[in-house]
Amino acid sequence: MDWKVKETKKDFSGDLLEKYSPIILGLLYGRGIIEEEDIEKYFSFDYEQVFKDLSKISGLEMAVVRIEEALKKKEQVAIYGDYDADGVTATAVLKEALADVGFPSVICYFPDRQTEGYGLNEKALKYLKEQGAKLIITVDCGITNVAEVEKANQLGMEIIITDHHHAPLQLPRAVALINPNLPESGFDFKKLAGVGVAFKLAAALYERLAPEKKDQLKWALDLVAIGTIADCVSLLGENRTLVKYGLVVLSKTRRAGLLELFQVGRINVSEDKVPDTHTVAFQIAPRINAAGRIDHASASYEVLVGKDPVVARVLALELEDKNQKRQKITAEIFREVQILANNSFKDKNFIFASNEHWPMGILGLVAGKITGEFGKPAMVLQRKDGLYAGSLRSVPEVNLMEVITRCSTLVERFGGHSQAAGVSVLDENIEKFCDKMTLEIDKELKGKEISPSIEIDCEISVADIGWELVDELKKMEPFGEGNREPVFCAKNFVICEVKVVGNGQKHLKLAVRGGLDSSKIFDAIGFSLAEKFPNIKKDDRIDIVFNLEEDEWNANKKIQIKLIDLKITT
């Protein structure tokens, strides 16, 4: 695999060097954070800034006025949420805010991923009408549902849409549209997750209807952090602040369901152990997502809002079971598509596969794994009742929404982001659609060399590795999309000790010294690298790509190198 070291600036002003090391400044430069003012903002976490200029956000005032009217008229309000972790957390945030400002009863509705699909649908609207709903507030969905909003209007219901997905040219005729991706949206920060948009609406509701309770909103930050991290949006700007404080609230969460989820899943979160984004992304979010992928999102929602510890325990065990099933099914389908990709798409830029037996909730995960494995855009679909529906994932060089838009005459429905999208295509159009997508992706990639590579933030020396750098890196947290954990490379290490560890003997554990004359010895762990380097041995000289982190065991702290890749040089 190729190693590509980012170009970065070397000569920083004296004023900046008095505050920050050249390595940290180089890392920030690589993230587009260059000016001193932007650097200061990056390292400051001003919670109050999140609520600044709410009045400028398009649609927010209209939404609050309509919700206030519903409260005065004692109308039944429904929240229509997406079935993933972002949608479920957004629903919970808004439901709790509505209850806090005076609504005695709010219906929360999640469509069934398998039978209803993404977004509003007519069957659900008729059900909500039967339940007496006069006002429906969508979270994390709705911006593409032009026909469905018209149907709601015909049924005598009004819609407020809060969403963060790509906004089409034709917009629904809703009471209010709140979406950072709308032209002139009024959002200062346009990369909020669905839960972040719902949080803005909740803040505006408190300001107008219950200003004395506004401080309560900070206890919803645990949900905001989970939804934001799970949806893989940029962890810069406001998201950085929301997640930073959200992780602290998560460590102190009072939610019975989350506490049981931590216990059942053996997730180390407590007041003494503030979770990092990795813990949320790979341990908490998958369990929240599991219900919507395998069965129905209502179980995840109840885990987030339920107060009975006994019920919470049962639901947490249920989510744990669903998550294990999800892992097994994902692995099985991935193997099937992997074989197909190796046999039929070796020389193609676009990988696609379909099967009537593959569950909808797994398709995005499989598409993501295929894209990660082959470095190409991938689409995985389920065929059912004359319709192909599923998910796409992409590489940075290909914007899915732009490509699918150019194929839109062949598509029934589509939506999403530049790197992740969903589509529905009629049986009669699927072949033409796949051909057209392949052609358009070929055009996007023409003249571009795409090969598996590791992007390295900067090269450092052994002398740079120490507690001062580790402490500075901690200040750059939380890490995630747009603010990834820094990737370093360093050369001329000597292996002092080699062990193969872990279940299945998959992991490589090394003790390495920074050159023959160095007294510095570091522990290094390479997860799933043992098979890749079966012949590595003591005294080998190596160059390494790695993350740098603090490892704590039995109250003892040490610097650990987390290996990403290595090259044996002698």
pLDDT at 503: 81
pLDDT, tens digit, for every residue of 244-261? 999 999 999 999 999 999
Domains with residue ranges and CATH for the chain: 49-243 (3.90.1640.30), 345-445 (3.10.310.30), 454-568 (2.40.50.460)
Q: How far is CA 1 from CA 50, 103, 347, 454, 545, in A?
A: 41, 57, 19, 7, 11
Classify the phi-psi angles of 451: left when phi > 0, otherwise alpha if psi is within -120 to 50, otherwise beta: beta
Question: Would the pLDDT of 516 be above 70?
Answer: no
User: b/e string for 524-558 if b means 16 or more Cβ within 10 A?
Assistant: bbbeebbeebeebeeebbbbbbbbbbeeeeeeeee
pLDDT over 90 at 123, yes or no: yes
pLDDT digits (tens, 9 = 90+) for 278-290: 999 999 999 999 9
The dihedral formed by the CA atoms of 184, 197, 226 and 285, expressed in degrees to the nearest 10: -80
What does the pLDDT look like over 19-62, one tens digit per residue? 888 899 999 998 889 888 899 999 999 999 888 889 999 999 99
8 vs 544, more confident: 544
| Bond before 478 cis per omega within 30 degrees | yes
Phi, psi for residue 159 in degrees, rounded to 5: -120, 135
Q: How confident is the model at residue 502 (pLDDT cuts 50, 70, 90)?
A: confident
The whole-angstrom separation of Cα 399 and Cα 1 is 24
Rounded CA-CA distance 317/297 in Å is 15
Q: Is the pLDDT of residue 450 over 80?
A: no
Residue range 532-539: mean pLDDT, rounded:
91
Q: Which residues have CB under 8 Å from 50's CB, separation 6+? A: 199, 200, 203, 238, 241, 242
DSSP, res 284? I
**What single-letter amino acid sits at 191?**
K
Average of per-residue pLDDT across 301-321: 94
Contacts of 239 by beta carbon, 8 Å cutoff, 6+ apart: 189, 191, 192, 193, 196, 228, 233
Question: In this structure, what token pair is assigned to residue 46?
Answer: 């001003």
pLDDT tens-digit readout, 206-239 = 999 999 999 999 999 999 999 999 998 999 999 9
Parallel, antiparallel, or unpaired: how do β-strands 488-501 and 507-513 relate? antiparallel
Strand partners of residue 521: 513
pLDDT at 517: 64
The two beta strands, 556-568 and 521-526, are: parallel
Asked if the model's pLDDT at residue 477 lies above 80, the reply is yes
* Residue scoring higher pLDDT (36 or 109): 109
Instruction: Answer yes or no: are the C-beta atoms of 410 and 435 closer than 8 Å.
Output: no
